[in-house]
Structure 1
């Protein structure tokens, strides 16, 4: 790299003007998508992370254009967003290899766009071949020098933040939990088991608190320990706003149905949103409970805040989880079973709600009380639903009930 390349105005005027023709808004979208696909696919639904990533890309692109167009030297560039993103990556415990991969892929996308603009401008202005090649080389050298400086500084920020977190006991425990959740994980050595301080050989119930941060979850556990007589708990951040909690009972006593019900009632009384697994035993049970609450949370997300109860257990939606493993076949089943009753409009939705309640409660009177309707209104709705269905509501009753539950999930999604 020659010193002259890094001086202001190293590129010819036509090449500097070509760099200003780059559409930074469109390029931002391309770089963000490339970074997510290559390095951060698991964070795609994390709004805070994506916003930080976009802000970092925007700041890098604007600074890089200043450098390539000759309006700033690399040493003059002052950034904040890439370093904030590096700290967030450390907090989320994303590996440094993901950071390196994102910079490699992101700057490759940037180079492609700038080189395309330069070549297009050279062709349009009939620039001599040697001059256009020299300009392309100089632009590439500038971009690589910028990438080297920024990536090195960001890596240092990530390392400092990660080191600070690594020194905390909770961060080490979090790393152990992440290890346990991997399907190919090896058994923990005795020293790690002491640090984990949780009986892995017990019977576990997993609770996901999607709207409760780690600090608030620990306070909530004080109440759960007293009311549900739980001694051993394991807390792990699910993301920036949610928390995973494992609650252990001795394997001999286990989690019987009444105890799980009492836990659910306690969570309802606390007014928190929670997804609860079935009881599972041992290390495999820790993983199984995690998979179950993750599946429950996906159903909850599809229903939306207004459609799902505050506390939702795996048995409540296990049918939906099973059948939604093949969404296309689920949609086909609903269309076949419901016909016009499956229409995506308010009238059909009210009729489906009434039929579902009628099946659940078994009488027009109880259904009317539950839906806050007159009994005659319930009768009329059920009659209309049968007309749209094209058969009596008592015919293929099981299939109808399953289709109604699936329709609720599919319509919400």
Structure 2
């Protein structure tokens, strides 16, 4: 139990914290810190902590692109930052606590297992501290009216963040070094290093590769990436990915652990092609599946495709399936490589239809199905269990909102609708406030 649990009350202004836009704050399985913050400051302040964590993670990944493509790292980071912000809130309220949480320790262990360097990890900590502390100071500046009280609160926040940054960095470094020493001597590390050499196109001794990986590079490959929103344990995640490759119809699977929350896999596909697994991955697990590619070049190409899907799904709406095939979202992975440009594209093509509310979602869904099914009103009516006249009415409404006939805009309209379906509020327009 962290020291100082029953202390607090130095920052009553934090009860007035509010997120800048609606945030889905998960209260289903709350940590001790979460329970204390929820009880002390209320649901809105708890939701603010989620927004702060999202803002901080986005800044870290934008500033350090070398880690942005790491499978599953975004989920590990988000989990760690959410825990860190909650701990910071208690410290800002006057509690004397260790800034380290188990979720943050997992980030350090994850970096070590991936072979990422300590300098990069410390840089992400520095960026995260700067961005997160700025959110607190900005909030205090707005919420505290009395100038002296505001100055005192900001000075206290700066002391808290500076002191915790030094201590936190040292503790994360110790955890990183201990995990790297243990990991570097493991069989899993050897397999991951061999796979990374193959993916980078470096020369690899075939006999050694056969001993370490026991996998045929000359076949037709499907690649899959699995990652977890939590920490499932690499053994369980690897077992799940092995079962997934088997269900896809891939033989002789090769599965390697990547950090704490991700696994990469490949399998050899016969002439029958891929099967569609009969069941979804377990809740909390997502799987990205490549197309089938041939030979050593195909081994690397298939992996890149699976990783592109994983990167797309980092920003996807929560309604997306837990298993996604590259062949189904190939265009979206290209369009969404630049999120800001994708946002402008969607809003420019859809106009008022890009508003993020239930009515526009209903119209977008009908229009998407209409275009996907060669403008067959009867097919869409059957798919949505609505009358044909309703389909026609919704399509005409959509055309009015877009400002163009569907037939004249189809080339850009379908990709825009696809991005809206996958990325949701990240590319849509906020509804007007009442």
TM-score in terms of structure 2 length: 0.59
User: Mind listing any 5+ residue stretches in structure 2 that lack a counterpart?
Assistant: 1-52, 134-162, 427-434
Please provide the CA RMSD for this pair.
Answer: 4.9
Distance in 2 separating the partners of 1:300 and 1:100 = 24
Give yes or no for contact 2:242–2:265 (8 Å, CA) kept in 1: no
Aligned-residue offset at 1:378:
1.6
**More helix per residue: 1 or 2?**
1
Partner residue in 1 for 2:261: 241
Matched, 1:259 2:273: yes
Partner residue in 2 for 1:177: 195
Task: Return the index of the structure with the highest Cα Rg.
Answer: 1
Partner residue in 2 for 1:200: 217
Q: Deviations over 1:68-106 (max 9, x none)?
A: xxxxxxxxxx97949996675345425585169729996
Distance in 2 separating the partners of 1:100 and 1:298 = 20
Distance in 2 separating the partners of 1:80 and 1:342 = 41
Greater mean alpha carbon deviation, residues 336-345 or residues 218-227: 218-227
Distance in 2 separating the partners of 1:400 and 1:173 = 45
Q: Secondary structure at the match of 1:338?
A: helix
Aligned counterparts, 1:8-407, within 5 A: 42=68, 46-50=77-81, 81=100, 89-92=108-111, 93=113, 97-98=117-118, 102=122, 151=170, 158-181=176-199, 183=200, 185-188=202-205, 190-211=207-228, 214-220=234-240, 223=243, 230-249=250-269, 256=271, 258-260=272-274, 262=275, 264-266=276-278, 268=280, 273-306=286-319, 308-361=320-373, 362-407=375-420
Matched length: 330
Distance in 2 separating the partners of 1:381 and 1:375 = 10
Q: Deviations over 1:188-223 (max 9, x none)?
A: 563344112222333221112233753334444665
Q: Deviations over 1:79-136 (max 9, x none)?
A: 7949996675345425585169729996xx99xx9xxxxxxxxxxxxxxxxxxxxxxx
Q: Deviations over 1:19-68 (max 9, x none)?
A: xxxxxxxxxx9x9999986899555652244467779999999xxxx9xx
Distance in 1 separating the partners of 2:123 and 2:346 = 45
Q: Decide whether aligned partners of structure 1 residues 332 and 193 sit closer, same or farther in structure 2, where only a CA change above 3 A counts.
A: same
Q: Deviations over 1:310-348 (max 9, x none)?
A: 321112111112223344554444444433333443322
